[in-house]
Amino acid sequence: MAETIHWADVVAKEALEKSSRHIVASGITPSGNIHIGNMREVLTADAVYRALRDAGGDATLIYIADTYDPLRKVYPFLDDSYKEHVGKPLSEIPCPCTDHTSYAEHFLEPFIDSMDKLDIHPVIHHADKLYKEGAFVDAIKTALVKRDEIARILEEVSSRTLEPDWNPFNPICNDCGRLTTTKVTGFDPDAETVDYSCSCGSTGTVSMLGGGKLTWRVDWPARWPILGVTIEPFGKDHASAGGSYDTGKRISAEVYDYPAPHPIVYEWIMLKGKGAMSSSTGVTVSISDMLEILPPEVLRYLIIRSKPEKHIEFDPGLPLLNLIDEYDNLDESLDMRAYQLSQAGGDGAAKIPFRHMVTAIQIADHSFDYLLTVLERGGYDVTDVEKVRQRAGNADKWLESFAPPMVKFSIQKTLPPEVRNFNAQQRQVMKILSERMPGYEDGQAIHDGIYDLARELDLNPKKLFQTIYQALLGTKSGPRLGYFLVSMDRDFVVERFRAASE
């Protein structure tokens, strides 16, 4: 079976046919917890960046933090004190926890830390600094001078009518600090200033050097030539007919004389049963939370394995457990390219199936020292204790946060009350197993031995399995039985089965 070409290599090949040098950009507004849905943009950009480099291209990865965007509303995770900050740039609003320099940095810092753990190392640009350092001054002048031309493009492409006083620049009011309540009343290109009036009653003049920002549909194409962007992923909302990429292409070419970047349109990551992830609605799973459960390379794989135009349904329950084990076996599959692009710079996790680790931790009653013994009984190498500790920590966090009830169990320290209801045949089974258990060498032998016993007694294997689980857990179901039993203390199992037979 022929190996398929990875989507990132296809994008890289197309881009390298036009030029050998590329700047791949991504950007996110840090208005709330930056979640896995946001990470699709950054990881898509990083996959293409790696593919360009692998193909011999000269590539740079950049990340633009839209820290000069306004706070749109008081989100569910904010208190009412933020009402007075609605409309102000995120970089100029106080930090919710008071430990960071601004609201923007409060959400940006953990995201940058997560990127580092995921082995993503872009050149990071803060929008507020770009504006304050003068990177946008020429673009602002051009936009103000060509206001009518930009307005015509926006109306033609988006099929909407702009207000007569619409302007591509939003000044920041000197009094209230908002940029969503101001109107441009004049500008001086030589002095590089803009006059404004604000709905708060203030009028004044601001500098083009950090005194405001371009409105989004102009800011985006303006930054392409400023930063030299040639490739950029973005969500499907920006790619809709008449959307911001369509208007951006025209503004970039006709106003800023710069070709629009190669677009990579991506679909949303949907949280199972809740819809598209969104910081503003609180439907999120944060990246930092996920990195406590998923090894970085598996989180990369979750996104990189799918073509950007396919939506990803993220289910942190059992499917997440399956995903980790799927990734562990990738080196034996055909999807080697996704495996390569998912590498996160480390030397990998302990080679212990995540599903088994979930079982072993519960057998060990969450004691790490005893866990090592449990794993050794199952035939696993625990020489690299720190790798084992990391995987155990991931599994423990998954059990705590996302595991469905059917996966959780607790070995009963005394004989469960359900055993009192065993019939004569069930007691006979327990007696025979207590005698045979010492002779089984491994999990497969135990598994086969239980089926042999079911045939000998003409007993439904499912009924036999239920009996064993009830004797140990007090429930009718549990982990894969052979490997579950071999991981437990053999003397304990023998004694429990003997007690259940009496």
Burial class (CB in 10 A: 0-12, 13-18, 19+), 462: exposed
CA distance 344 to 94: 34
> Nearest Cα to 366, choosing from 321, 410, 403?
410
Instruction: Report the SS3 class of residue 4.
Output: coil
- Identify the DSSP state of 79: -
Name the token pair of 152.
């015509």
- What is the pLDDT, as a whole number, of residue 272? 73
The H-assigned helical ranges of 265-384 are 287-290, 296-304, 318-328, 336-341, 354-363, 368-377
Under 8 Å between Cβ of 251 and 146: no
Query: What ranges do the domains of the chain cover?
Result: 1-133+267-347, 137-214, 354-407, 417-501
**For 182-205, how does the pLDDT look when each residue is reduced to its tens digit (9 = 90+)?**
999 999 999 999 999 999 999 999
DSSP 326-355: HHHTGGGSS-HHHHHHT--SS----SS-HH
Alpha-carbon gap, residue 429 to 442, rounded angstroms: 20
Give residue 479's pLDDT. 93
Decide: 264 and 11 in contact? Cβ < 8 Å: yes
The pLDDT score that the predictor gives to residue 276 is: 65
Amino acid symbol at 399: L
C-alpha span between 362 and 396 (Å, rounded):
9
Q: What is residue 277's predicted lDDT score, i.e. its pLDDT?
A: 58
Residue segments in the chain with a per-residue pLDDT below the cut of 50: 1-2
d(CA 271, CA 276): 6
- Cβ proximity of 392 and 368 under 8 Å: yes
What pLDDT does residue 9 have?
97
- Give CA separation, 53 vs 3, 22, 115, 290, in Å: 21, 10, 19, 28
Q: Long-range pairs for 175-179 at CB < 8 Å and ≥24 separation?
A: 175/200, 175/201, 175/202, 175/204, 176/87, 176/200, 176/202, 177/88, 177/92, 178/70, 178/86, 178/87, 178/88, 179/70, 179/87, 179/88, 179/89, 179/212, 179/213
Architecture of the domain made up of 1-133+267-347: 3-Layer(aba) Sandwich (3.40)
Kindly report, residue by residue over 296-311, the tens digit of the pLDDT. Answer: 999 999 999 999 999 9
Model pLDDT, residue 2: 44
Query: Is 2.40.50.140 the CATH classification of the domain at 417-501?
Result: no
> Angle at Cα 428 formed by Cα 427 and Cα 430, nearest 5°?
65
How far is it, in rounded angstroms, from Cα 103 to Cα 67? 9
Core vs surface per residue 38-65: b (16+ CB within 10 A) or e: bbbbbbbbbbbbbbbeeeebebbbbbbb
Same fold for the pair 1-133+267-347 and 417-501: no
